[in-house]
Amino acid sequence: MLPIRLRDFVEDPDGWIYAVSTYDNEQNVGCVLRYIPEPGGERVSRSGLRYRKYDFEEAYARIARDKPAYAGLVQRIPTSDLRRVLKPDLEIDHIAGSHDSVRQLLDIFRLPRGAIGCTGSLLCGLENASSDIDLVIYGSHWFTAQSLVKQGIFNGRIEGMSPDMWHKVYEKRKPDIPYEVFVLHEQRKWNRGQIDGTYFDILYTRSYDNIQGAPAGKGETLSKETIEAKVTDASLAFDSPAVYSVDHESVSRVLSFTHTYSGQALTGETIEACGIIEQHGAERWLIVGTTREAKGEYIISKTMLGE
């Protein structure tokens, strides 16, 4: 079987469905509960079974109460407990066959087989009329897709983000930076748009041959700090966690566990980052997104802002 990786979904013996949130999944899968079969659930599967969608806090509370063996920083399910694995790259053709907007996006991107997938509710067959499209692009193909989003907006095949949509994203994320600063950073990422009025984004996931190098585990917490540093490598800035290698006297990496600060800076730019310092072996990393809404934590590109 192919390795389980970030943005796959898995199902446990009771039919509970989880979003995979880590790469280190050999013995047990790091994930977050998303859907549970419930008679009054608002989502309906293709077989007619009703599911309830769980938000972050509800998911952790339900796991702590009913499946404490899975509880932790993320939920951890032994691979022996898995009933089903849903992989975006393997299901994309099936999804596109019944979803015209996904089919249009595949026509725009035209990436090799295995380079693109679709995750989220569409992967699980639990979408509704308001569901977004979460495309997954694997490895270096992500940067090709990013260029094609930009090109598509310029030539009119993809609808850009309206001010109303930017405000909705800002309110959903609740970042600890001003709205104007948030939008300036987001506009140059070229990782989202609309197709026939349906919002979509492109999400980075490592290729199978690069999974082993992904950061894993929590380090020793040292302090909260704000640093200024030059980014020496932003090639994994859209991963989860986003990784920025930096030139700094005591910090070697800045990691963001919140999607808000992925792709926030380019190689060669100077950033200001506020977060928690963790010790990882001989290295110290600054972690942004140590809580769900990352209150008091942020990354900004001082270079992009002209500071």
CATH number, position 162? 3.30.460
Amino acid at 205: T
Confidence of residue 212 (pLDDT cuts 50, 70, 90): confident
Average confidence score pLDDT of the chain:
95
Quote the number of domains for the chain.
3
- Whether 213 is in a domain gets the answer no
46 and 71 assigned to the same domain:
yes
pLDDT of 290: 84
Pairing of strands 253-256, 283-288: parallel
Query: In the listed set 36, 51, 85, which residue is the last one of a domain according to the structure?
Result: 85
Alpha-carbon gap, residue 205 to 184, rounded angstroms? 24
147 shares a domain with 125: yes
Claim to verify: residue 92 and residue 204 sit in the same structural domain: yes
Same domain, 56 and 119: no
As a whole number of angstroms, the distance between CA 19 and CA 301 comes to 30
Which of 270, 276, 233 lies closest to 256 in space, CA to CA? 276
pLDDT band with cut points at 50, 70 and 90 for residue 82: very high
Q: Residue 76 burial (CB < 10 Å; 0-12/13-18/19+)?
A: middle
Residue 218: pLDDT band with limits 50, 70, 90: confident
DSSP annotation string for 20-57: E--S--SSEEEEEEEEEE-TT-SEE-TTS-EEEE--HH
> Domain containing 191: what range?
88-208
* Residue range 37-59, pLDDT digits in tens: 999 999 999 999 999 999 999 99
**Amino acid type, 226:** T
What is the Cα Rg of the chain in Å?
19
Reported as a pLDDT band with limits 50, 70 and 90, residue 275 is very high
Quick one: pLDDT at residue 215?
Answer: 79
Contact residues for 65 (Cβ-Cβ < 8 A; gap 6+): none
Band of the pLDDT at 300, cuts 50, 70, 90? Answer: very high
pLDDT digits (tens, 9 = 90+) for 179-189: 999 999 999 99
pLDDT of residue 216: 74
In percent, the amount of the chain with pLDDT more than 90 equals: 89
* 1: pLDDT strictly greater than 90: no
